Structure formats: C-alpha cells, structure tokens
C-alpha cells in the first residue's frame, strides 16, 4: 500500500509499505479520506525536540477490508468512521473494532471525520450547557464551527462567534451563530447583549495566548470557561488572581479516553445523518495523497476561505 511519512519538517514522502496485519479484535479499513489535523501542523512546521520520521493521520473514514476473528457486528464492505492513533495517511489502517462507528450509505466519507467530530461534540458535552445559555466561541476554525452547531442543537441562547477572518465570521453566521465579530469588537458586543455581566459559557478554541486572554474577559462571574484550543509550543500565562476572583468553572475541553471519543463520534455522526450538523461548508480543500505537502502548506497558511483540508484516496 502507499503511505505518506513525515520524513522531516516540511516534507512528507510517499512510499510503499506492507498491508497492516489484522488482530482478532481489529478491523482493517481501506481509507477513503483522512482529515489534516491542526495538531499536526507543528510537527510539519518543525517543533523543536520532536523525532522524525513520523507516521501521522488520525481522522480516517473508509470501508472495512478485513475483520478480525473475534469481531462481531462488522463485515467486509461496511462503511465506517474511525478513531485512530496515527498511521492514517495510508491506503489501509487497522484499529480495534470498538473504535469504529458505522456510516449510512448516503453519508459522504469526507464529512465523517470521526476524531474531530468527537472532540467537538465532547467539548460541548463536558460543559453541560443549560437551555438559553449565552455562549461565545473565540476562534472559529473547523472545530469551533462544529461546536457552534452542537451548542445550537443543545438550545443555546446568544451564540457569539469571534474570529479574525471575515470568511470565518460569515460561515459562523451561516451555520448558526447569532452574532459574529472580530476580536476587537467582542467585549463591547458581549456587554451589550448581557447587560455587562458576560456570557454563561466562553470557549477558547484557537490555542494561542491572545484568545485565552480574550475569552476570560467575556465570561460572567461563576461562568464556565473552557480551554478547548490545542495549546502547543511555549508556555501560557494565566492571570490566576483574576480567574480566582471571578470564580470561573474551568473546564479542560479535551479527553483521552477512547470510549468517550467513540461515544462522541457516534453522537456526532448521528447529527450529520439527521441534518443537525452541516459539514458541507466546512470541508473546503481536498488533496490526493501525493499532494500532501501542498495540503499541509495550505493548512499552515490559513488564508481566507480555508477551514478544513482532507486527503482523499
């Protein structure tokens, strides 16, 4: 099979590798799509102290090619979305059968990106939003735009999107935001909408110091502050005195439990299949496996109009 390996920063190479073996409790899946994840950009760009080569890719959907001897409930030819822990930029990938979620015949593979869907759904579930809660998401890339839709399905009141890019703000309004503004306008808007109190829930979804700082200014006293952005690189600074005084309910938006991932996938795929989660405007760029370097360069640039890129096999 063909597989793309990150040989060194800035360079994937496509090479032939043997088909992965299938254990008794596993599925081997012929990949149709693997999404390019923001968490992999630092590896592509060259984070200090990382070792290379690296076999990346964890946002896979495809067709079951082989079924382990102890697996029940799946058969060759089944369409599935996967939770994977790497090795997804390849024509075939093997995972535990418990990490697969069936897809309906009409569900496009490029929309069934199980791992980020699970992250977004679970990020909302961890907050336990109440009906009519005011929500502000700071950083409306692929994950933030999915979360907007999940919050809408959970009955959010004011649903405010904050992003530097005009194209992201337009798209946020398209998928359910009640308001969309740039960072410089966010504080005044939130004050106007909440009588100066702040939103009930603030989600930091970009993973940088500036968005972390801004989100804390938008949440009401004793409101919920979720750090959902994937923070990499240098350490972050926190004004703990202010956070403490405001008595924020601080939530880490991430999980590392595969069972929780799969439950979030199952819920998110269900939302897609009944029309409650619209992925069509979010998957904006598609690349073949031999175009993976171009794909990551495009994802790294984050120009206007880019939301999510996928490798389509």
pLDDT confidence band for 49 (50 / 70 / 90): confident
pLDDT band, very low/low/confident/very high, at 233 (cuts 50, 70, 90): confident
**Nearest in space to 34 (alpha carbons), one of 104, 87, 97:** 87
Least confident of 34-38, 202-206, 232-236, 256-260: 232-236
pLDDT tens-digit series, residues 24-43: 999 999 999 999 998 899 89
Q: pTM (2 decimals)?
A: 0.94
- Reported as a single tens digit per residue, the pLDDT across 264-288 is 999 999 999 999 999 999 999 999 9
pLDDT, residue 190, reads 98
Helix (H) or strand (E) holding 115: helix 114-127
Q: Please tell me the predicted confidence (pLDDT) of residue 87.
A: 96
SS3 content of the chain, % helix, strand, coil (to 5): 35, 25, 40
Cis check for the bond before 44: say yes or no (omega within 30 of 0): no
Rounded Cα–Cα distance for residues 23 and 40 (Å): 27
What is the spatial distance between Cα 300 and Cα 313, in angstroms, rounded to a whole number?
21
Residue-wise pLDDT for 148-202, tens only, equals 999 999 999 999 999 999 999 999 999 999 999 999 999 999 999 999 999 999 9
Residue 55's SS3 state is: coil
Q: Is residue 47 over pLDDT 80? A: no
Q: 216 falls in which pLDDT band (50, 70, 90)? A: very high
Q: What average pLDDT is seen over the chain?
A: 96
- pLDDT bracket for residue 234 (50, 70, 90): confident
């Amino acid at each position: 099979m063909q597989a793309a390996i990150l040989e060194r920063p800035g360079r994937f190479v496509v090479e032939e590798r043997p088909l992965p073996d299938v254990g008794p409790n596993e599925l081997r899946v012929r990949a149709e799509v693997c999404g390019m994840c923001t968490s992999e950009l630092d590896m592509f760009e060259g984070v200090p102290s990382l070792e290379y080569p690296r076999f990346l890719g964890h946002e896979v959907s495809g067709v079951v090619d082989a079924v382990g001897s102890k697996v029940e409930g799946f058969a060759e030819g089944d369409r599935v979305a996967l939770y994977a822990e790497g090795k997804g930029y390849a024509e075939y990938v093997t995972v535990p059968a418990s990490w697969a979620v069936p897809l309906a015949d009409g569900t496009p593979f490029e929309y069934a990106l199980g791992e980020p869907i699970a992250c977004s759904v679970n990020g909302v579930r961890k907050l336990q939003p109440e009906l009519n809660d005011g929500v502000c998401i700071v950083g409306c890339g692929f994950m933030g735009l999915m979360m907007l839709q999940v919050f809408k399905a959970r009955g959010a009141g004011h649903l405010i999107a904050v992003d530097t890019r005009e194209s992201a703000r337009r798209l946020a309004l398209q998928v359910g935001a009640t308001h969309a503004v740039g960072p410089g306008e966010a504080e005044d808007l939130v004050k106007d909408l909440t009588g100066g109190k702040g939103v009930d829930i603030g989600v930091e979804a970009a993973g940088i110091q500036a968005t972390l700082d801004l989100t804390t200014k938008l949440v009401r006293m004793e409101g919920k502050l979720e750090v959902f952005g994937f923070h990499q690189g240098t350490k972050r600074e926190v004004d703990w005195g202010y956070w403490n005084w405001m008595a924020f309910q601080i939530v880490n938006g991430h999980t590392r439990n595969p069972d929780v991932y799969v439950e979030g996938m199952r819920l998110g795929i269900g939302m897609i299949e009944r029309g409650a989660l619209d992925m069509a405007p979010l998957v904006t760029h598609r690349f073949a496996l031999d175009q993976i370097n171009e794909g990551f360069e495009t994802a790294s640039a984050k120009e206007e109009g880019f939301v999510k890129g996928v490798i389509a096999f």
